[in-house]
Amino acid sequence: MPHPDRAQGRGSSERRGTNSRDARRLEALRDLLEDLSHLDGESCILVEGRRDMEALRLLGVGARIRCLMRGRGTLLQRLSSLGPGMVCILTDLDSEGRELARQASTILASLGVEADVSAWRSLEKLVRGETSSIEELAPYIARLSERVDKALPRA
């Protein structure tokens, strides 16, 4: 038996639920970005390329960011130069980014460096299907913010 609200289509309460989910998602994204901004000086965020780094800067992330695909040498050599602090891996959310995160995490572990993928996992859940790259994060957050603002009751 169908739920009464669903039998009549999307009611206002269901739209409010969607808007509420968007608001919670937006708040969680902002919290995640703030957490990334407050990494200690020894730690760094590892992204794929320059545009990803620029996107995080545009979103206010002030922590040390290193690009995984820039520089000379092998992936092992580039990762070896990161230093002893924790590395937050934040590659794209597509299959290539997932594989790159896995490889980087494995190499960093072999070097005795703590690789943290919790922000990547959180981001993947928060933007599920909406965007797959770090460089598209700012426009995605802007669209989400706009949807939340439009849903607010007018006084």
Conformation bin of residue 101: beta by default, left when phi > 0, alpha when psi is -120 to 50: alpha
CATH number of residue 49's parent domain: 3.40.1360.10
* Residue range 99-155, pLDDT digits in tens: 999 999 999 999 999 999 999 999 999 998 889 999 999 999 999 999 888 877 665
User: Residue 120: which domain range?
Assistant: 12-150
Instruction: Please tell me the total number of residues recorded for the chain in this structure.
Output: 155
State which H helix or E strand residue 19 sits in. helix 12-37
In a domain? residue 47: yes
In a domain? residue 92: yes
In a domain? residue 100: yes
Pair of tokens at residue 91:
């590659």
* Residue range 94-112, pLDDT digits in tens: 999 999 999 999 999 999 9
pLDDT at 6 over 60: no
Helix 118-126 / helix 12-37 crossing angle, nearest 10 deg:
160
How many independent structural domains does the chain possess?
1
In a domain? residue 5: no
